[in-house]
Structure 1
Amino acid sequence: MRKLDSGQTVSFSIHQVAELDGIDLAGITAHYDSLERKMLDGFFAHVGGHRGMKYLHWNMRDINYGFAAIEHRYRVLGGEPVFIIPDENKFDLARLLIDIYGVGYTGHPRLTTLLDKNKIQPRDFLNGASEAEAFEQGNFVGLHQSTLRKVDVIANLAGRAQDRSLKTNTTWWEMHGGRMRAFVNFAAESRTFQLIAGTASIVGLVITFQPALPASVWAVVSGVFASDP
């Protein structure tokens, strides 16, 4: 967990718990369940001590890969969460980026291709297959480093999206919803367009009332717009 304002990060890992218990890396597998239970004790104690916080995540939406998976595993190990993060406090950055830029904003897998597009160095970053391999090999330190890097990456991408510096495959036209929506947005934001529209409104008003105006007045008005476009 990384605080977006300060960058301070709190992490929970098997090998850290093992170190505190005096168990070396080679002995983690033999004590895995008890170490995992202690790790999740710490996780849920931290979450319970920071109620009301909002969590930005990447695709952590279901029992296979998400907050529900962590809660389920904790119960399997005999624990019971003292506090569960409300759904309204969870924000999926993966879905938010689709909402902003459209489904084609980057290739698949989206996270890694987005890193390439924005030239963010994926140091210590492991994809799903590599993480599974690291777990099978007992490389718990590597898994921890990858997790730390991923939370850093999520914060980085969120910051770039917020300040509109994130590079994607989406064009300005596509991002603004196509012809009509783009035109409406442009009209609302463009001072030049607003000036032209205002001038056109005045001309239209003059033309509408032209028959009731004296010929001399109409000539003056026409001359103004003709000489000063």
Structure 2
Amino acid sequence: MGKQLTKLRRRKDARKELDAIDERRELALIIHYSCESFYDIKDGRTPRITSIAVRNFASGQTTSVSIHKSAEQNGVPINEITDHYDRLEKEMLEEFFAYLATVPVQRFVHWNMRDINFGFQAIEHRLKVLGGTPTVVEDFRKFDLARGLIALFGVGYAPHGESGRMHSIMDINSITAKDALTGAEEAKAFEEAEFVKLHQSTLRKVDVIANLLERTLDGSLKTESSWFDQHGFHPQAVVEFMKEHWVWSLIAMIGVVVGLGSRVLGWL
């Protein structure tokens, strides 16, 4: 399949998934989390989790777990969290996965949570490392809004920049970045043990993702995409379709021949 036809297929698939989410909003959960920067880890281990937030798209109700809440529940002063991190992280993750068990059919809308570096697998792996057993969310219950926007509007819908497309699309749509830290800011906050700030950033980002999802569904999301990308059409797609479907190519050729024949008869 040609490049432009592939784009059209991906756009159609993304729109179909979004329509399904829109029809059952009460079953859509927005999820995001914060963690230690995986770029700064030199010993090969996976990043420690600091907080996770899940927001119901329909009601706006948000469930969250965080390392500083786990510390408070265990009577550990916030300035001593790093000394007890593994134990506190395990309890935090067990609380999160216990919550997941209560939402067995819901759909999770996320932003780039798709691999062992940053994603569901990373969270699952952390609990396994700490001696626990995670609840696995099936892939068909996950929808990556970041990839969905690319499928709908093309890679040029927002510049990646230094802070990533989430912050860029927020700027384009005048969505305030209050409390939403960039990747570099989150890494610094973790190094300085500012766990409350990281939790606030996670809560803000699930709110932002919900906002972007809402604007995508109602058609009000502003992007920097070209007209062709915004409307899911490119002239090259017609050429690719004609090449892949010989019947239509034959009809087009017959049309050209008939047209030329008519001109010749007219000249005679």
Give the shorter-chain TM-score range: 0.7 to 0.9
2:65 to 1, 8, 12: 12
Q: Give the distance between the partners of 1:167 and 1:67, measured in 2 at CA.
A: 29
What residue ranges of structure 2 are gaps of 5+ in the alignment?
1-53, 239-268
1:170 to 197, 203, 225: 225
2:139 to 87, 104, 124: 87
User: How many residues of Structure 1 are paired with residues of Structure 2 in the alignment?
Assistant: 181
2:128 to 68, 71, 75: 75
TM-score (norm 1): 0.77
Q: Kindly state the Cα deviation for residue 16 of structure 1 after the two structures are TM-superposed.
A: 0.5
Aligned to 1:99: 151
Which amino acid counterpart does residue 104 of structure 1 have in structure 2? G
Q: Kindly state the Cα deviation for residue 170 of structure 1 after the two structures are TM-superposed.
A: 1.4
2:167 to 112, 115, 135: 112
Q: Kindly state the Cα deviation for residue 166 of structure 1 after the two structures are TM-superposed.
A: 0.4
Aligned to 1:11, what secondary structure does the other structure show? strand
TM-score (norm 2): 0.66
Give me the CA root mean square deviation. Answer: 1.3
Aligned to 1:135, what secondary structure does the other structure show? helix
2:216 to 158, 161, 164: 161
Q: Which has the higher contact order (CA 8 A, sep 6+)?
A: 2
Aligned to 1:227: none
Contact persistence 2:152–2:229 (CA under 8 A): no
Q: Deviations for 1:187-209, whole angstroms, at most 9, x for unmatched residues? A: xxxxxxxxxxxxxxxxxxxxxxx
Q: Kindly state the Cα deviation for residue 175 of structure 1 after the two structures are TM-superposed.
A: 2.0
Aligned to 2:89, what secondary structure does the other structure show? helix
Q: Give the distance between the partners of 2:158 and 2:142, measured in 1 at CA.
A: 23
Q: Give the distance between the partners of 1:148 and 1:121, measured in 2 at CA.
A: 14
Which amino acid counterpart does residue 154 of structure 2 have in structure 1? G
Q: Give the distance between the partners of 1:87 and 1:173, measured in 2 at CA.
A: 31
Q: Kindly state the Cα deviation for residue 21 of structure 1 after the two structures are TM-superposed.
A: 1.2
Q: Deviations for 1:94-151, whole angstroms, at most 9, x for unmatched residues? A: 0000111111111012111100000000110111111111011000000000000111
Contact persistence 2:158–2:223 (CA under 8 A): yes
Q: What does residue range 199-214 of structure 1 map to in structure 2 within 5 Å?
A: none
Q: Kindly state the Cα deviation for residue 27 of structure 1 after the two structures are TM-superposed.
A: 1.1
What residue ranges of structure 1 are gaps of 5+ in the alignment?
183-229
Aligned to 1:10, what secondary structure does the other structure show? strand
Aligned to 2:143, what secondary structure does the other structure show? strand
Which amino acid counterpart does residue 223 of structure 2 have in structure 1? T
Q: Give the distance between the partners of 1:181 and 1:9, measured in 2 at CA.
A: 43
Q: Give the distance between the partners of 2:229 and 2:105, measured in 1 at CA.
A: 36
Aligned to 1:128: 183
Q: Give the distance between the partners of 1:174 and 1:87, measured in 2 at CA.
A: 27
Which amino acid counterpart does residue 201 of structure 2 have in structure 1? S
Which amino acid counterpart does residue 156 of structure 1 have in structure 2? N
Q: Deviations for 1:47-94, whole angstroms, at most 9, x for unmatched residues? A: 01110110000000000000000000000000011x210000000000
